[in-house]
A = this chain, B = another copy of it.
Amino acid sequence: MPISSEQKLEVAASRDALQPTRRAVAPELEAILYEPIAVLDHGFVRVVDYMGDDSAIVQAARVSYGKGTKQVSQDRGLIMYLMRHWHTTPFEMCEIKLHVKLPIFVARQWIRHRTANVNEYSARYSIMDKEFYIPRIEHLSPQSKQNHQGRSEDGLTELEAARVLDILKTDSQNVYSHYEELMNVDAQGNVIDEGKTGIARELARMNLTLNYYTQWYWKIDLHNLMHFLMLRADAHAQYEIRVYADAMIDILNKWCPLAYEAFTEYRMGSAHVSKTGIEVVKRMIGGEKVTQETSGLTKREWDEMGAKFGFCDL
């Protein structure tokens, strides 16, 4: 259950209140406004507010590029053009605000994107909820041999997996009961033993593990959102942040469908080719049989490029 019953009532109340506005409205996004989209075992993403839509991108671009590009039929072409040529400022004219619940180790990666506004739940003021992330068995993978940072394709035996889950659950529960004991306050905020003195919340929190959930309001413009999504929806990103990125790509699609389309064409599915790589493609197109040895590329680059352009086995 990613959201408390109290929060559920708030969400329902917010969703019911319809007011007239003169601003741009994104109907598909309105339809899911405030609704939590479940991610991982206790996490969620929900859209709390937004500003602008596809037409706001176009409007801003036309301030820059002036008259003569006014037909509505050209909106799609203009957005595709802007994305292709990295004219990023018009995309900055849209803004979105999300409420996200996520494990602390995911939050630590996420926050590295600096061009955003954040208000995080404060464990100095408030008691952390007893909610921690436990991976599903199919996501328990060993260290990758290739890329030094990710996971391999291979899995663990059933017995090994069971032991992993047992450790994670037991330790998570153990540190939380100690967290309560350290504060002498339980999860509901009640003093445990009136005759004792606990330590401050800001201190006790250090006993929690990194799989505990935190939450924040996170506000970002469309350009920087897409930059985040490009990096974090990538196959090399850690699974536990990728699922958040995937959920947000769906949100993007509901919010600005044309920008989403351009994002898919020119960012997510695209390739960056080096100077030497361009020469390789030219030679191949010209009919030449190029090998890694004759390409001028390192083995690693050759493989990376081959995987993108399908010539690995040529």
**Which B-chain residue is minimally distant from A15 (CB atoms)?**
B22
Interface of chain A, main secondary structure? mixed
Question: Nearest chain B CB to A98's CB is how many angstroms away?
Answer: 11
Q: Are B117 and A92 in contact (CB under 8 A)?
A: yes
Partner of A282, one of B219, B274, B309: B309
Copies of this protein chain in the complex: 4
Q: Which residues of B contact A273 (CB under 8 A)?
A: 270-273
Q: Are B61 and A119 in contact (CB under 8 A)?
A: yes
**Which B-chain residue is minimally distant from A172 (CB atoms)?**
B207
Q: Which residues of B contact A238 (CB under 8 A)?
A: 124, 202
Q: Given A49-B23, A60-B119 in contact, is the A278-B309 Cβ separation under 8 Å?
A: yes
Partner of A120, one of B23, B30, B63: B63
User: What are 17 residue pairs bridging A and B, where the CB atoms are less than 8 Å apart in the complex?
Assistant: A14-B22, A66-B121, A84-B274, A84-B301, A89-B119, A92-B117, A104-B108, A112-B118, A114-B114, A125-B149, A142-B197, A167-B207, A266-B272, A270-B274, A270-B277, A281-B309, A282-B309
Residue numbers of A with Cβ under 8 A of B are 14-15, 17-25, 30, 33-34, 48-52, 56, 59-61, 63-67, 77, 81, 84, 86, 89-90, 92-93, 95, 97, 99, 103-105, 107-108, 111-112, 114-115, 117-122, 124-127, 133, 135, 139-144, 148-152, 154, 156-157, 160, 163-164, 167-168, 171, 174-175, 178, 181-183, 189, 196-203, 205-211, 215-217, 219, 221, 231, 238, 264-266, 268-278, 281-282, 284-285, 287, 298, 300-301, 308-311, 314
Given contact pairs A19-B25, A117-B221, enumerate 11 new A-B contacts (beta carbons under 8 Å).
A15-B22, A19-B22, A21-B21, A65-B148, A105-B205, A105-B206, A142-B197, A164-B199, A270-B275, A272-B273, A282-B309
